[in-house]
Structure 1
């Protein structure tokens, strides 16, 4: 498939999450939420969300998607401008909004219209005034140059067919000294052919993952410094729960990724 075909496949799959919670990629919590609140709660706890965070939007903004908690990697500050790449129904945006306060702002970008509509509805119903959701692709961000303090993302960049473009755009929109704070899936070995060529495994955040050293190279090429890629302590538990079999948890890992745009 070409890049546009991949984007269309992912967009269609994630629109199904909104329309029917059981309709997305079978087997992966990255893509398919649990069928009830307890499933979503259990998934989210594995990903590193606290009990306090999980009181917000469970089953509405929090659909149980992802492979980590980017907000556990870095403490946001009051007044900061935060950008969430692939913001879905808005859960991480709303958590970030509580951290940056009324003087801050959080922007969510997602390429799935149904997710944007759901996130805007959630923002209105929960009373958030310091958030906004923009329809767009993370390879072509609808965000001004040097306007963002922190970029967060949760298990989305692996889905992009052009990861260099994603990080080039991230570098462009960050202020000097700004940082990326990301949870995502990366590879540590080669995937079996049947998984590598499996569309369900792609939208399930497995076969689109790149090697750790390739990710570091892409970040360097984009201009980032102080790059850190660290496997989550319970990575195997997270990946294994996605039920792709074949010891996939030994091949791909859930990682915390940090880097800074130099001043």
Structure 2
């Protein structure tokens, strides 16, 4: 078993348990948020008419839908779509002429997302099973890629950014809420896969994060609203400062 495979399996087990109501995300609390509900992450007006089955699975660290600036008719891809909250919010903004695709590798999460889709009666959203390092999406087929506290979980982040770049149309954009650091984790902490799956030790230095995006081909990369994420992982020896950040970039025409 490769390390990448082992990381994927640990993550899939954890998030499968969350989808089935058998565990929390980051230890006994939530994942990448200060409280265990969506109201800490999103403007409450965005959450109107969303059932608790959707909002209770808001496992992100921000609101990539709002920073994406979505427009009617756009085609959107959500990396690591979980229970589907960001997909459903995006679907409202792109309207009936738009389309939203959510990709997630965990069958239990996909089952939950599809149940939520049926409950909401949403027709312009579909969910696909796959890894974000190898997206089941056609080349240059989407206008926007978004992701919420998921890329930090990926063992091969360059592959994720290359895949995002591949599926974006020229002139497309990416909007990310994610956990980043200032500095690097010790090798001992990096090897703790349980903490990796908790949105902690898979995070990398923000400058390295940006460099990987540049290597994949993205331009106009901005990192804003970087706030402390010590509620997720209090400082300890060998641990860098951890932040939740909003990151945007474009694929040049």
Question: What is the TM-score with the length of structure 1 in the denominator?
Answer: 0.88
Partner residue of 1:26? Answer: 27
Tell me the distance in 2 between the aligned counterparts of 1:58 and 1:192.
41
Equivalent residue runs for 1:1-263 within 5 Å: 2-27=3-28, 29-30=30-31, 40-41=36-37, 44-47=38-41, 49-62=42-55, 63-191=57-185, 195-232=189-226, 235-236=227-228, 239-246=229-236, 251-263=241-253
Give the deviation of 1:246 after TM superposition.
2.9
TM-aligned CA distance change 1:242 to 1:140, over 3 Å: same
Tell me the distance in 2 between the aligned counterparts of 1:92 and 1:119.
11
Tell me the distance in 2 between the aligned counterparts of 1:154 and 1:137.
15
Q: Could you list the per-position Cα deviations for residues 193-223 of structure 1 after superposition, in whole angstroms to 9, with x for gaps in the alignment?
A: 6543322221111100111111111111111
SS in 2 for 1:170: helix
Structure 1 stretch displaced more, 205-214 or 106-115: 205-214
The answer as to whether partners of 2:16 and 2:109 remain within 8 angstroms in 1 is yes
Extract unaligned runs of 5+ from structure 1: none
Tell me the distance in 2 between the aligned counterparts of 1:59 and 1:247.
38
TM-aligned CA distance change 1:243 to 1:222, over 3 Å: closer
Tell me the distance in 1 between the aligned counterparts of 2:73 and 2:5.
37
Structure 1 stretch displaced more, 84-93 or 199-208: 199-208
Tell me the distance in 2 between the aligned counterparts of 1:17 and 1:58.
17
Aligned residues: 251
RMSD of aligned Cα (Å)? 2.2
Tell me the distance in 1 between the aligned counterparts of 2:246 and 2:141.
23
SS in 2 for 1:22: coil
Q: Could you list the per-position Cα deviations for residues 20-67 of structure 1 after superposition, in whole angstroms to 9, with x for gaps in the alignment?
A: 253544155227x99xxxx533xx3332x0111223435312213111
Question: What is the TM-score with the length of structure 2 in the denominator?
Answer: 0.91
Extract unaligned runs of 5+ from structure 2: none
Give the deviation of 1:231 after TM superposition.
3.5
Give the deviation of 1:15 after TM superposition.
0.1
